[in-house]
Each structure stands twice: as C-alpha cells, then as structure tokens.
Structure 1
C-alpha cells in the first residue's frame, strides 16, 4: 500500500479517532498523541489492513485500547478536564451562560459514567455509529450496547432533572 492510498483510506475517520480519544483521555494533547500513535501503528501494519472488513472499526478498537492503557498508566494522573468547544452566536449572555453550564454538566456526567457506558455514548450519540458497528468494536452483542446506552442516558437524564429541580417540591 502506497502512502497516498493509505491516506485516502484512513483520513476520513481521523477526526472520529481524535474525538473518541479526547472523550476518554479528556486532554487535547493526550488525544492528539493517541491519534498520532494510532496512525503510526496503522502505517507500520499497512500491509495487513486489507485483511480487515472495516479498517475504521479496527482503528476505533485500537484507539479505545490505547486510551485505556494510557489511563491505567501512572502518567494519567495529570489529565485535566477542559470543555471549551461549545459556541453559539446570537443568544443573550444569560442564556449563553445557562447553555454552557448545561453542556459542561452533561460532559461532567458523561465523564462520571462507567468506562463502557462512556465509550458507548461517545460512539453512538456523538460519533453516530450504528449499534452493529459499536458491537463489533467493543466485542459485545448489539442488545448489550442498547441496554448500556439506555442506562447511560437514563443516568444522565436523572442527574440533570435532579439538578434542575433542586429546591422545588
């Protein structure tokens, strides 16, 4: 496989790889490193890529595994939570602050989910993968993916309702 063919194959899902890595590692720098490491590994094994039914699914699985390894390492203690990628024009300052608070709260709630639920909600709701694709990536049955996603959404919904109804009887 030549470089141009390799780039044509892997570049369409580069941003998805980065977003999954960022969701798991939180740090932009760590996510960039993970993305770079993944593409380096794919390039080293470019001759084997044709053996995979879905290179994108394989890359996502590699990303997930790499991120989990990074989180388990001792260097993971310095990862910081930063969410500054939500912007909307044409709203009042109060409304914008409310929206930013809500988005930050949802990100925080997602971060507090168990790892599997966090990854499934990222792949399904943010990256918009199909259940079968997620099942293949995570080596689970589509039914288990649906159940886990439902539980994650329910947890987030309950926590948001609890926060918004605070002090109201």
Structure 2
C-alpha cells in the first residue's frame, strides 16, 4: 500500500475506531479513543508494505484497536496496590539513583534502536506496545514460533550490548 492509498483510507478508518472505542466502555473518553486510533494507524503505517496481503485492512485495524483499547482501559480501571507496592512507594529514590535509572533506560532504548529492523519491531511490539505473540505474528504475517525466536535473539543482543556498556 502506498502513501496516497493509506492517506485515503486513514480518515474514515480513524472515525470508525474512535466510534468503536467510545462504545466499548462508559469509562472510555474522547482522549482515549483518539489515542487508540492514533496508535492503530501508526501500527498500520509501520506495516503498510504488507497490508495488501490482508483480506480486510479494516478488520485488522479494528482488532488492533480493540486490543489497544482493552489494554488502556485495564490500565485506567485497575489501580490496585499490593503490599509490595506500598513498601516501594515509601522509599523515595535519591537523585543519584534517579539519574542512574534514567540513564539505563535511555541506554536500553539506544540499544534497541541499534538492533536489526525485525528485532526492533518485535521488541517494540511486544515490550513497549504490549502486544501478544500471536497478535504480532498476525500483524507481521509470520508464525508465533518465528516471533519467539526473533524476540529471544533481540533480548540476547540487548543483554550482551547492555552488559558491555556496563563494564
């Protein structure tokens, strides 16, 4: 799918996604619906070269949007705190610990950016976007087994590079 086709398809698809998300839950608001629509269209854009392989891009978009909306609704509705969380809330990290933690996070994101594109994509979809392996396989047109292998290799590469930076 080229850019002009995507640009033609996106606005009406965005409206359908927003409408679906608003109808999913009483706690779904316009901001949440817009976030889901934007996330969905970004995911579709990243796989635009493979969209022609799907029978229905609209159906794919709605599945992606539904899963993302459910994830976001769960995050906002389940704010339970366990005893372990209470203990960790009491200890405020020192400024030095905060700086080290933020540097480690930026190091990891830099390492992810240096991975081959397939590994970057599966790591981002799984650990940043929170997609399930089966969903990643459907979106990428791959098998769950090959996604697991790519994730494993990506994690191993990240670990090795991170450990080299720490030494």
TM bracket (short chain): 0.5 to 0.7
1:61-100 matches, cutoff 5 A: 90-100=92-102
Over the aligned positions, Cα root-mean-square deviation in angstroms equals 3.6
* TM norm structure 2: 0.54
Which deviations, in whole Å up to 9, do the C-alpha atoms of 1:42-100 show, x marking residues without a partner? Answer: xxxxxx83xx2552438xxxxxxxxxxxxxxxxxxxxxxxxxxxxx9932111111011
Between 1 and 2, higher relative CO (CA 8 Å, sep ≥ 6) is seen in 1
Instruction: Indicate which of 34, 51, 55 corresponds to 2:62.
Output: 55
Q: Secondary structure at the match of 1:129?
A: coil
The offset of 1:158, in angstroms, is 0.8
Q: Determine the C-alpha separation between the residues in 1 that align with 2:147 and 2:126.
A: 9
For this pair of structures, how many residues does the alignment match?
Answer: 111
The offset of 1:142, in angstroms, is 0.8
Q: Which residue does 1:8 correspond to in 2? A: 19
Which aligned segments of 4 or more residues in structure 1 are displaced greater than 3 angstroms? 3-6, 14-21
- Return closer, same or farther for 1:20/1:53 CA change in 2, 3 Å cut-off: closer
Greater helix share, 1 or 2? 2
- Return closer, same or farther for 1:18/1:104 CA change in 2, 3 Å cut-off: farther
Q: Which residue does 2:126 correspond to in 1? A: 124
What 5-or-longer segments of structure 1 have no aligned partner?
22-33, 39-47, 59-87
- Return closer, same or farther for 1:160/1:13 CA change in 2, 3 Å cut-off: same
Bigger radius of gyration = 2
1:16-165 matches, cutoff 5 A: 16-17=39-40, 49=58, 52=59, 55-57=62-64, 90-164=92-166
Contact 1:16/1:127 (<8 A) preserved: no
